Amino acid sequence: MGLNPEEVSAILQKEINRFETKLEMDSVGVVLQVGDGIARVWGLRDVMMSELVVFGGDVTGMVLNLEADNVGVAILGSDREIKEGDLVKRTGKVSQVPVGPALIGRVINPLGEPLDGEGPIASTASRLLESIAPNVVERQPVKEPLQTGLRAIDSMIPIGRGQRELIIGDRQTGKTAIAVDAIINQKGTGVHCIYVAIGQKASSVARVIEVLRRHGAMAYTTVVSATANDPAPLQYIAPYAGCAIGEDDMVNGRHALVIYDDLSKHAQAYRQLSLLLRRPPGREAYPGDIFYCHSRLLERAAKLNDELGGGSLTALPVIETQAGDVSAYIPTNVISITDGQIYLEPELFFSGVRPAINVGISVSRVGGKAQTKAMKKVAASLRLDLAQYRELEAFARFGAELDEMTKQQLARGEKMVELLKQDQYVPETLSRQVIAIWAGVSGRLDRFAVTDVRRLEFLLYEYLRLVVPDIEQGIEKDKDIPIVRWLKLRRHSFVLDSFRTIMNWLEAKGHLSGIPPVLATIFEQRFCHHIIELIAAGKLTNIFFAVFKTRQTVKEPEEAKLREIIAAFKPQFLIEDWMAGKKKSLQAEDESIVQIESDFYAFVTGQDGKIPAAIAADGHLSAETTAKLETLLEAFRKKREGKTA
């Protein structure tokens, strides 16, 4: 078959017409030297500071040094595949990180790449890692409280939205626990939390993420992770990435809380980079601009004025000290930048005072401006009282003879220290904190033993919450405690004496027999709480008031009522306690242990109603009853497994 010259000519002409002379130019350089996460590159004459460059395939670097004949590049990834002579290409872009709602609930690295295996980040918006902090005109004073849920902090070292509050202390003193508590307490407040892990062990970061998930906090939290296994450049940019994510909320009128855990390791990563880049070392071998490195980060935390939307970015940087030395270089730098510090003392931690906050050194420079009216009223004298207690305690150690007033101050101070203790990952509502601190500073707990303080204040709160709910609800709504509410609170504080009277009655009448000594105090507390629930449900008249009227003694007919309640409650308590050793094999993820115990007791009473009666008659779990419970537990387990399947 012959070719038609005209057709060939037409095809060639068409292709010639489609051809475009387009020339692409790239600014490229050559690697002169590479090692320890740093590359020296020749030829990038017009490159910008902090610009991203690409090595060969897909390894990214960030320009940190601009010198006469070469540039120093921090490699944001593995440097194993990079060698001398490789080409390096400019991108023309400065370091950015994705921002927006798509990051909520995700775990990312400082480059915005997902680490949680849940797919790519569905965000089209991004923000520069480095940006200029809001100026004075763009800010407004810090005056809106950011509740941490920790009594010691919210009462004496209040934090406000837009503030920078340092958490400082030796390793293993509870610094991260305070930060995580603050995150957990933001549930339902609309605050976007960003936890930045810098140089931490991967197992520690995984543990924090697990705690946040267990408490439902990942629903409003983003985790930026640069672990100890990551290169120093990634650890260096991690806090700036977290700050940029929080800034996006601030400039859009929302509120954000960012935790930098911790800036000591960040300073070490920057020191490593600076020394490898041949920058002149200064004090403790840190570069001369280490102060600026942290100040430009922390100054970006602010509360914007109303014209700019009124958004805020609150920063809680963490610093680890060595042997309690707060006068070291990095700690003093960050203390001078922030608006206050929460100092955690190892001696307090190991003596059982947790959170181990040293009130004497800790301070919030915002003060009462970032405190609710209710907390300000009840905690006004708390800080001074504790300071005087510490002073008197030190004096009393010398064995000097003390007057009655001093003994009373020491006794109350000891109870206040006990009152400020708090379990890990259990932040409290404002009303719970206010009622507890009021009970302490008003002297309502003075006549009770230190060991009774925490359970009595808990029962007081539960009584007010369930029986007189308008007090608790009013504090939560108004954030205040006006004189009418104050008087009502005083009027109902009689229940503290009634609780203690009923506990004494339980012991005196032998109702604690059959209960292991270690569980006796738990039984007393839960029994009083059970009575509160019955009163709140309208199934019982206010027996606490009746006990109070009879000069704190239990008389008939109240005694008969209490015996009747014990007959029903004690079997349930003993069965649920027996269940305590078995529940781990039954507990599903995110399921309440208390609910499992309650379900099992209901199952037991439904299958064999004679068991509770037998326990009530014996006063303890007999061998025969225990054997029956073992059989019922197996049936209960199979029933649950069938439901799960």
List residues with catalytic annotation.
365
Cis before 355? omega within 30: yes
CB of 97 closer than 8 Å to CB of 241 = yes
DSSP one-letter code for 322: S
DSSP character at residue 448: S
Please list, in sequence order, all residues whose beta carbon lies within 8 angstroms of the beta carbon of residue 277, skipping any fewer than 6 positions away: 38, 64, 65, 72
- Which tokens in the block code for residue 271? 């020191």
Query: Of 48, 50, 44, whose CA–CA distance to 28 is shortest?
Result: 44
Using CA atoms, how far residue 187 sits from 192, 215, 218, 610, in Å, is 9, 9, 10, 44
d(CA 575, CA 601): 7
Report the candidate in 596, 591, 505 with the shortest Cα–Cα distance to residue 546.
505
| Three-class DSSP category at 529 | helix
Q: What whole-number distance in Å separates Cα of residue 251 and Cα of residue 102?
A: 17
Q: What is the DSSP letter of 132?
A: P
Question: In this structure, what token pair is assigned to residue 607?
Answer: 């299958």
Q: Rounded to whole angstroms, how far apart are CA atoms 160 and 147?
A: 8
Tokens linked to 297: 């980060």
Token pair in block for residue 335: 């203390």
Closest of 317, 387, 392 to residue 357, by C-alpha: 387
Please say whether the beta carbons of 434 and 163 come within 8 A: no
Query: What secondary structure letter does DSSP report for 141?
Result: -
Q: Which residues pair with 168 in a beta bridge?
A: 319, 343
